[in-house]
Chains A and B, each alone.
Chain A
Amino acid sequence: MPLHAKGTGLVFVSNERSNNIIVLDPGTLKLVKDLQTAGRPRDMHFNADHTLLYVACGDDDVIDVIDVAKLEVVGKLATGRSPEAFAIDEARQRLYVSNEENSSLSIIDMTQNITIKEVPTGAEPEGVLLSTDKTTLYVTSEVDDLVHVIKAEDGFVSDSIVTGTRPRRFAATADGKELWVSTELSGEVWIIDRATDAVTDHISFLPPGMRKTDVTPVGLVITADGKTAYVTLGHANHIAVVDVATRKVTGYVLVGDRAWGIALSHDEKTLYVANGLGDDMTVVDVASRKATESVPVGRTPYAIVIDD
């Protein structure tokens, strides 16, 4: 982490059905603001200095721009139909967003608020990951079981990698060599070697007392030192702790109903999990691997980001 903005510490949870972002105090977990957004807010990202928060709003085909100090929507970027997940290249003022119902990825010029290119993808594109050198994009297609490798410059699809069933989200390992992809319906995380685009491994999960069919991984996050990954397991109502080097599951933590989005605090002491069917968020103490608290948020919480 080269540069880090000292933020407010506030926790932001986007809620698909209640069209809002619930902003919580990290210490008391009390409501700071019920921030109304455009319809169906989903993926969220801060700019580098954390002054702005961007949120993709699927029902209104916009990305709302939120002033983090004021906690107000201060702008909108037009997208394709049903924007879901995105990545930002701030230096170039470019935003790359998957349009779930348009089967495409839009490349948006943020300064001019125009779409400069729309790249066709497989049906229901979701996860978007931009390489650290900002040259390569990875996009999942949930329906077609593909990960597209796309040149960020011109949108050229250089490869399409076949994965497990219903690929969702990404995490890149700290060394930049591997791409981890959650495949919801096959209940796995697939590992792709980024140098060759080859699938090198997959990880399966089975928390105690759960069925294989309940295991539907979606959210995943890797620690800054690259040693540990945390994966939400959907209907299995747990998160998995994975040792990245050995790819072994070292533990499970019981959270809420349909564990979905996940975020790790900057000090990596606390995990926050959005429970999609529970309308709440579980707070997990990383050291003890125990859920410490569960707080109500909006309806169908999707993503969590922390301003720290």
Chain B
Amino acid sequence: MGQLFGMAVWLALSFLCCLVSMRAATAQTTDTLTIGYVEIAGDPRYAPVRGAERMILATRDRPFPAVEVAVDEAKPLSPVIHREFAVVRITAKTADDVAQAVLAALQEQHIHLFVLDLPGEAVKMLSQAVHGKDVLLFNATAPDDWLRREACSADVVHTAPSLAMTTDALAQYLVFRKWRDVLVLQGPRPGDAVQADAFVRSAGKFGARIAGRVPFKLGNDPREREQNDIGLLTATSRDYDVVFVADTDPDLEFARSVPYRTTRPRPVIGSVGLMADAWLWTWDRYGAPQLINRFLAKTGRHMTGLDWSAWMATKLVTTAALRMRSGDFGKLAPQILSDASYDGVKGLAVSIRPWDHQLRQAILLATGDAVVASAPLPGFLHATNELDTLGDDQPETPCRLGGG
């Protein structure tokens, strides 16, 4: 009985101590650092993937919960820096309404840091609209290379890997495996040509060879069988080690039909098969499983590359706030844009390239459920940072934001 009573008192005391410590934290926490998450209603990039029979093969989820996971992770920092973290979801009706919504959030809610879930064009329009204001934008979903080259902006940090980074990762892997000869199958969409161009450029950069570049067309018309029959498309006289498919059709109807239908028994990469992405939920090194489990517990789904990029953007903000012991934009933005490195749970520490504000990061090469390799691959060396073997290095980019 006495022991029980003692236990009760002890528990009560420990409860009291927690109340007191919580109150102390609340009393000191006078401010909230709010991050804006910007999206467009009905963004077609999130339309579900449909099969030929209109069945839904896969859903595509927005990365908003990833921002919430990063905000949750930062909660223990609040008593240390006397500041809470929060996220506000800003949904614009159309791409034309994005700038107005962001400027309103800046003026009315004093939000300066925005994680963008926007297509490349919308990112560009927004960066022009906010130029000169106390705003830093994090592009978490648009891979477009032109957004980091001709249209690059000092107001945008790209946590999403660029297309060039992903095709460089694939090319490195092929050279690493000595699968040097590649047959490129390219679809009719403008995006298909952009992807194929990026891959051809990467192949040249790392010493893979283009054995052929063949246009494909989705369909059953026997008059066009040279373009729609995978057997014929892949029956080139010149041999190849691997087939790269460039297909930006959201349903990937053609790409999905290529593996196992090639004339020669060759692996398929690019839009299907071995793919390059910022993240895969089966990645299990460097503390990744813990993040994946936190994400799964919050959302009930697997964490994607878009999720990682949005999580990383938020993590840059919360870590900068911790390091500066501040939530002031005037202190956070220079810290984020400095040469400081951050933990991206992908091995090599991530950091921002001064010349185009692209986040340096490892790229995962993966099938649907297995990580095959992480780029940079062994043997691809760089004078200062191996991660700069992926994507636009300083001498390669037309963008000159800083860093000499």
Contact = CB atoms under 8 A, between A and B. Distances in A.
Interface string B1-18: 000000000100110010
Contacts of B294: 101, 123
Contacts of A166: 287, 343
B228 interface: no
A232 to B, nearest CB: 15
A21 interface: no
Interface in A86-123: 100-101, 103, 117, 120-123
B25 to A, nearest CB: 10
Interface stretch (A70-78, A127-135, A149-157): A149-157
A144 B341 contact: no
Contacts of B21: 156-157
Nearest to B351: A213
Given A122-B77, A166-B343, A142 B349 contact: no
Nearest to B285: A277
Contacts of A186: 341, 349
B215 interface: no
Nearest to A187: B349
A82 B341 CA distance: 28
A235 B343 contact: no
A154 B77 CA distance: 21
A117 B14 contact: yes
A48 B293 CA distance: 36
A155 B293 CA distance: 26
B402 interface: no
A10 B21 CA distance: 45
A103 B17 CA distance: 19
Which among A154, A155, A185, A214 has the highest number of chain B CB atoms within 10 Å?
A: A185
A272 to B, nearest CB: 23
Nearest to A166: B343
B80 interface: yes
A165 interface: yes
B76 A121 contact: yes
Interface in A14-48: none
B342 A165 contact: yes
| Most A C-beta atoms less than 10 A away, residue of B10, B74, B80 | B80
A142 B290 CA distance: 11
Nearest to A81: B293
Interface in B281-323: 287, 290, 293-294, 319, 322-323
Nearest to B318: A144
A185 B322 contact: no
Interface in B97-117: none
A141 to B, nearest CB: 6
A269 to B, nearest CB: 33
A143 interface: yes
A279 interface: no
A100 B17 CA distance: 24
B347 A235 contact: yes
Interface string B184-227: 00000000000000000000000000000000000000000000
A185 B76 contact: no
B76 A122 contact: yes
Nearest to A276: B285
A295 B287 CA distance: 26
Contacts of B325: 162
A211 interface: yes
A160 B76 contact: yes
A163 to B, nearest CB: 10
Nearest to A156: B17
B389 to A, nearest CB: 12
A192 interface: no
B348 interface: yes
Contacts of A142: 287, 343
A32 B73 CA distance: 43
Interface string B74-104: 1011011000000000000000000000000
Given A101-B293, A123-B76, A141-B76, 7 more contacts: A120-B76, A122-B76, A124-B287, A144-B74, A162-B325, A165-B342, A235-B347
15 contacts: A123-B76, A141-B76, A143-B287, A143-B290, A146-B80, A154-B10, A154-B14, A154-B17, A162-B323, A165-B349, A166-B287, A185-B349, A186-B349, A211-B386, A213-B385
Interface of A: 82, 100-101, 103, 117, 120-124, 141-146, 154-157, 160, 162, 165-166, 185-187, 211, 213-214, 235
Q: Which 9 residue pairs across A and B have the least CB separation, nearest first?
A: A122-B76, A185-B343, A123-B73, A185-B349, A213-B348, A160-B80, A144-B76, A165-B343, A166-B343
